[in-house]
Copies of this chain bind each other. A is one copy, B any other.
Amino acid sequence: MGVNERKSRERSSRREAILDAAEKIFSTKGVITSTIDEIAREAELGKGTLYNYFPSKEAILWYCAVRGMKILTGMMLSSVSPGNEPLINLRKMAESFMKFALRHNNYFRIFLTVGMGFSIPSGLTGNEVKEVFEKESPYLLIMEELKRGRASGLFRSDVDLNLLTHGVWIQFYSFMQLISLNPEMVAAFGLNHEKLIETNMMMIINGIRKDSGV
């Protein structure tokens, strides 16, 4: 029915509004020092209202992270094409990752916090969260391209696929970290983002090419 539908839409958009506010606050002040009050104020909602949409502060954090991860995955997915060579696709994914790191660096702090030992609160059904973080993750996208690249003889096959994926994934990930957390270091050494991206992408790609000898 129309009414229910509208209500559902409203509920959904309110959830998003809360996550918007949380993302902003979390990324600005750090997750731990952010308070529910601040998020509520930013969302222009009553504090109690937040608890009508999320069971706890930690849940808000997780759904924030989920949303970020979905954006990242979406960006990576839309940048690749099955018709492309794996090397091209990897490059595109790397570029997407970097773009995400630059454009949404808000999320990085949130990802890190989540990764640093915040266990998924038992209140969450967990399914959605688990799926996003384990099944749909960019990790699998990378692995897919590496597999194709090996099949076509482009990438080195002398190393376990998981190992290789891990290496690439970590490089993507930590690159974001250094962009996000050490702007002053980046500046101090006279580096700029574009060149960093270019250099690191080169290093990553070279690291996995078949003809790269030890």
Contacts and interface: CB of A to CB of B under 8 A. Distances in A.
A29 B195 CA distance: 38
A191 B160 contact: yes
A112 interface: yes
Contacts of A160: 191, 195, 199
Nearest to A205: B214
Contacts of A171: 170-171, 174, 203
How many copies of this chain? 4
Nearest to A199: B163
Interface residues of A, number: 46
Nearest to A171: B174
Interface of A: 29-30, 32, 109, 112-113, 115-118, 159-160, 162-168, 170-171, 173-175, 177-178, 181-182, 189-191, 195-196, 199-200, 202-209, 212-214
In the A-B complex, the 8 residue pairs with the closest CB atoms: A174-B174, A203-B207, A206-B212, A170-B174, A163-B199, A207-B207, A30-B117, A162-B189
